[in-house]
Structure 1
Amino acid sequence: MRQSLTLIKAGLVLLVLLFSTATLSAQKNQVALRYIAPNYILGLGKVPTPLEGAETFGSGLEFEYQRRIAPNFLLGVPIRLSTGEALVNMEDASKDPVNPFTDVEELSVIGGNLLFIFEPIARSSVFDPQIFTGFGAFNDFDGNTTAELPIGVNLNLRLGNGFYLSPQASWRFAFGPDQDIRRNVQLGIGAHLQLNAEPVEPEPPAVVDSDGDGIEDSADQCPNQAGPVTTLGCPDTDGDGIADKDDKCPAIAGTSAYMGCPDTDGDGIADPDDGCPEQAGPESNNGCPVTDRDGDGVPDAEDKCPNEAGLLTLMGCPDFDGDGIADRDDDCPRVAGLAKMNGCPDTDGDGVTDRDDKCPKQAGPATNQGCPEITVEDQETIDFAIQNINFETASATLTAESRSVLDRVEDILRRYPGYMLAIGGHTDSVGSAESNQKLSNRRAESVYTYLVGKGIIAARMSYAGFGETMPIADNRYKDGREQNRRVTLDLSIR
């Protein structure tokens, strides 16, 4: 009890000291009265099994005085009196090691803190939040005093001039005896008052002459832009007697006949609307003199290609390939093409222009560079061939069955003229690496030679031997060596 009285005395002394400086600036003082609800169960590191009859939240009152010492920084002294239920950690050896909290006690406390309060955002007419931390202590009226470190937030919602609804939430670390069961969460709500808050000043009366041009706003057609009397207070940048707001050419002096714009060549057409403002011409020719430099019968003013003789239908531009698309808009001006292809031809009609089409005479999707995609059936034929091209033992001579297989490959190559074929020879690891390299090269060449003999253009094919360098199975086993002795066939677009 003596410790609690000491705490109360210290709090009262601090309140007196802070109030004693309040007369220096009443705006700096704020008070709050809140209903609070402490919770000592949530303050534990884990939530134990609730005990029958235990109340989660307690109740109490808190009075707080705050003193502003900087634009966004205050000191606060809250004093609180509250009750709540706390779990008791029994000390007998039979307690449950998982849930040692086996009893509940009624806890009444009086406490106080010194808080350091920060306002993270500029105060507004609606919201004035505060973040706080500090230090203090509380006494449970049984002679036990516990030090604490609170961290929390006040959400001050403005209800009137200097008057706020003040919800609060804080976490309070405890230090001292039973600190593990004295940590607590405290929620609160109440009223927050700024003492002697100054009312919002009314807006100053409107300035009689806002732009300072000597013309009262009531008579000024441009009250926020200085201007002469001749244009009723509106600016006249070019000094032609026509206010800028009514002047189509505010930076160039003109006449009222042309809404403030000049007519330099005197052809009756204002310069902004005159295609040739320094050369007189008829309105039918946009104010320009009628000229035709390239002699194609299209006036220069209308001729999109005034220096090249062209067609009237193409606004004076030439069309070399006669496809109805002017050369300047034609991506293929020397070869007749289609408008949808920007003047380029698409012989196979697959939507890919011939110049970008790897197979210009055989339709195919753009994703495959204009070439037909290998069908699943044809790819299966290629895969079958790879597995069934065989040679006489230790030689590069194709077996009769292999030649039959290659005849089917030859048919595929004829049906896909835009594709190249890469032939690769491979061996197992039996024998020397040098002999295997030579054998694989001869076998790849045998396939190449056979297909050339069947009429496939040699330039569409290439061959190479890789010896035993690229195995696809384990050479230690017979099955693995058989798989490694193979010829690969790779089709790709030229």
Structure 2
Amino acid sequence: MSNKINAGPSIGGRSMQFSSMWQRGLAIATVALLSVGVAVPGFAQSTGAVDPNTVLDDRWSVTPMVGFAFSDRSDLDSGLSGGVLATKPLTHWFSYELGADYSLIETSNAGDYERVTGRLGGLLYPFRPYFDDSSSFQPFIGGGLHLSSVDFLKQTTSAFGFYGSIGAQQKLNDTLSLSLLGRYQVDDVGDSGPLVDQTFYTWQVLAGLRIALGSKPSDQFRDADGDGVPDGVDKCPDTPPGVQVDARGCPLDTDGDGVPDHLDQCPDTPRGVKVDDRGCPIDSDGDGIPDHLDKCPGTPPGVEVDAQGCALVDTDGDGIPDAYDKCPDTPDGIAIDDEGCPLDSDGDGIPDHLDECPNTPAGLAVLPDGCALVGDCRKPRPGEAVDANGCAMDRGFILRGVKFEFDSAILTVEAKQILDKVAVTLSSYPDVDVELGGHTDSIGTAGYNLGLSERRSIAVKEYLARKGISGERMTPVGYGLTVPIADNGTAEGREENRRVELTPQN
């Protein structure tokens, strides 16, 4: 082995002197290398706009390597070598490295030189100004200290020393790089036996694949969409060019409606208002008034509306647009409900303005004037006597609308329709007998009017009897012109006096 792997003492004092020179030289180089690595600062990372190419990629990397080892003599013996390196950049110029490797060098006359090594050192990138972090090719030099276990000449011992390396990395992508290095190592053995105070010098040539662990730090400073927010914190990394963004990198949405300003055709929408895909308030009925301002959100298509979104047409002037008015012909001045129909306070089907008994108890059948035959309170007519409750003492109910052909006892069509309803009411009170009183105006003689009113009351009885009301319950009476309720001097008064009244008798 002495003729293949240099052993300092085996060739005398000169070799020992040469060994000491190597040790001193490597020690000085290693200390210098580590000192330069610590002393050289990395590029400062600005808090403002940062060029990703200047950001230190300080990830740990692991590099499995294989190759061969040989001695430094001209008559070289060689063998296999392999191991792994772990590196971490301290600055753009310098990285620490930790490693472990195995070498087996065969000799022709001294057996195998087998070595397991652990090492601590550094890598220096002296050409950084020419090959920055964005460059795919990175030359380097390195060096450090090692501690090895050597098995040679049937003796296992430890060795300590220095090593130096030179090599380059070829980047494949942000995670993988090809690595090639040559390493010169001094194994200083200080043990007893055949290897006492021996120093061996070997080379290793290794190739491997460098694997960076984790995500690249510079990624957080990249700004793919150019919005000024680095990709690492950009929640909207595909913002179109020129669009203003917030601190998260997302397009501004000034009114907070979910539609960014550069797409928002209504950028001042009030908070909380629902919008369409253009960012404008929704107008469900398409009347031009957005829903949050529309007081009538269901306006039919084509209906003209006011500023509140309600139809402008209100035929009866009751405040309910015709589009929503269930009773669009309500007379002027009549109180109405929410649907535009006259109020019916007691719910008996007769609106208040026609109801002579507006507070009929619930469930009682009523006549067309809104009054029940019994248990009700009729509003008094002008001049009528009232009881303690303010109800008319006269129990007679006018069957309004029950009219006859001119100067006859023939019922009109409208009169028959009203009497149909009267028949239904009388059926609900089978124990109540009624008087059917006929009345006329003052035109004509008293005798004639008396006979005419009697014939008319009989005609009413006969019609109700045909509708199923027992004739025994009904008494027809003619009063002629003797009981007027209005002024016969006017057409309106005479119209009021021509009437049929129904009065309960028990």
TM-score higher than 0.5 = no
Higher helix proportion (structure 1 or 2): 1
TM-score by length of 2: 0.29
TM-score in terms of structure 1 length: 0.30
